[in-house]
Structure 1
Amino acid sequence: MNILIIEDEPGIYNFLKEGLEEEGYNISIASDGIKGVEKFCQMYPDLVLLDWMLPGMQGIDVCKEIRKQDKETPILFLTAKDTVKETIEGLRAGANDYIKKPFSFEELLERIKIHFRNRQEDEILTLGEISLNKSSYQVLYGETEISFTQREFSLLEFLIRNKGKICTRNEIIDKVWNINFQYDTSVIDVFINSLRKKLNMDKENGYIKTVRGIGYIAND
């Protein structure tokens, strides 16, 4: 699971990064509001930890901008503000939860787990006759269950989440392989061929098409 922390205090975001990485989460950090929105649109994380007071753009406005792009990703406010008015303002902007500073890391971790669990229980992604169930890690083609490796599953999920959009090889390496440096992207072609074979697709008429010299696009 990928978590984006939008927080300008190094002491806090380093503490959160270290603790959450120890729990197995992939962590990205943005230290101001504008960069936070930009990074969200680049990576589409699974959850956002958002500070209320930020340089560049206030957290409440960051929340509103994120909600213009994505209605589902859980957003948890981290803030010293705790009045009823501000809580309501944050929830109306699209936040899912509100954690007052200073907070217990154990409490934050449990809140994160609850939001992930709630989201996964309801989330089924579709691409034509393909349905992908995040909670059970199950893929069905029509009524037939198809077995995938973890990497194949993650690649298929990424393509479905970006359905209708060209996904470059560099984006796929960055988001699916979590490699953000120069890397031989030809490995992606091997995994795409494996997906197509298991789903009985051909290059021209399947749900996943090659965009020559760029990457791939998934369409119903």
Structure 2
Amino acid sequence: MGKRILFLEDEPVIQDVLAEYMKMQGYDVYSAADGEEAVKALTEDIFDMAVLDIMVPKISGLEVLDFIRDKYPDMAVIMLTALGDEQTQVRAFNAYADDYVIKPVSPIILLKRMETIFRRVKPSARTVREGLFIDKGAYQACYNGEPLELTLSEFLLLETLYDEPCRVFTREQLILHIFNDDYIGNDRIIDAHVKNLRKKLPQNFIKTVIGVGYQFKQEV
């Protein structure tokens, strides 16, 4: 799979055309139409680069850039905008944008800019999400970028707890999340999975709530 690109652009035609060119170049593109959607994608997935329009609904591209630099400082970022004033450009570069492209832009030129930035980025500098991260699409849990060797049942158990950290799940509820209605047997199977998970996790992320069940415990 190619490098993962977050593309924030609210103009449908521009979004479709540029995203298609990126895909033709081998990039794996996630398109967002507003800043809130972009931030949500950043919390749920790992990207190699963000291409951000500035003037988008809800949260501006500059605010998304600030979020990236706070959470994922090594991620490559290109600002893509119709705003050509010096103040806006300085604001973007002060937030450590890697490049600033003024629209309208040739798709070929944008791809060349992206290629140039990727040549400068060392593999070790690619974004590594610190702490525990659940990659739902790949059915993989990672800690500080390193994959954890979990069985499917262990992954689904961890994912269920991770998604709702304020909720305490009973064993019966966890069985339904993991096995649906296919499991017949003792609900203590959950205890066995929790025991195995605790051995594989770098921290004890699973809290036992006596008399009820289990809950995700935030990192300390």
Report the TM-score range of the alignment, normalised by the length of the smaller protein.
0.5 to 0.7
Structure 1 equivalent of residue 28 of structure 2: 26
Seq. identity, %:
27
Query: Is the Cα contact below 8 Å between 1:164 and 1:218 reproduced in 2?
Result: no
Q: Quote the residue 1:76 is aligned against.
A: 78
- Using the size of structure 2 for normalisation, the TM-score is 0.60
Aligned residues: 155
Pairs within 5 Å for 1:44-59: 44-59=46-61
Q: Which amino acid aligns with 2:138?
A: I
The alignment's C-alpha RMSD in Å is 3.3
Unaligned runs of 5+ in 1: 126-133, 135-157, 177-184, 190-209
CA distance in 1, matches of 2:10, 2:195: 39
User: CA offsets per residue over residues 106-151 of structure 1, 9 Å max, x none?
Assistant: 110111011111113xx337xxxxxxxx8xxxxxxxxxxxxxxxxx
1:168 Cα deviation (Å)? 3.7
Asked if structure 2 preserves the Cα contact closer than 8 Å seen for 1:43 and 1:175, the reply is no
Deviation string 1:154-211 (CA, Å, 9 cap, x unpaired) is: xxxx9xx34531x4463534899xxxxxxxx84x99xxxxxxxxxxxxxxxxxxxx98
Distance in 1, Cα, partners of 2:52 & 2:30: 12
CA contact (8 A) 2:135 2:141 kept: no
Return closer, same or farther for 1:93/1:25 CA change in 2, 3 Å cut-off.
same
Equivalent of 2:131 in 145, 160, 164 = 164
Residue number among 60, 80, 87 corresponding to 2:89 in the alignment: 87
Partners of 1:217 and 1:13 in 2: CA distance = 40
Distance 2:76 2:59 in 1: 19
**Residue among 97, 100, 110 paired with 2:99:** 97
Letter in 1 for 2:124: I
Change (3 A) 1:211 1:101: farther
Structure with larger Rg: 2
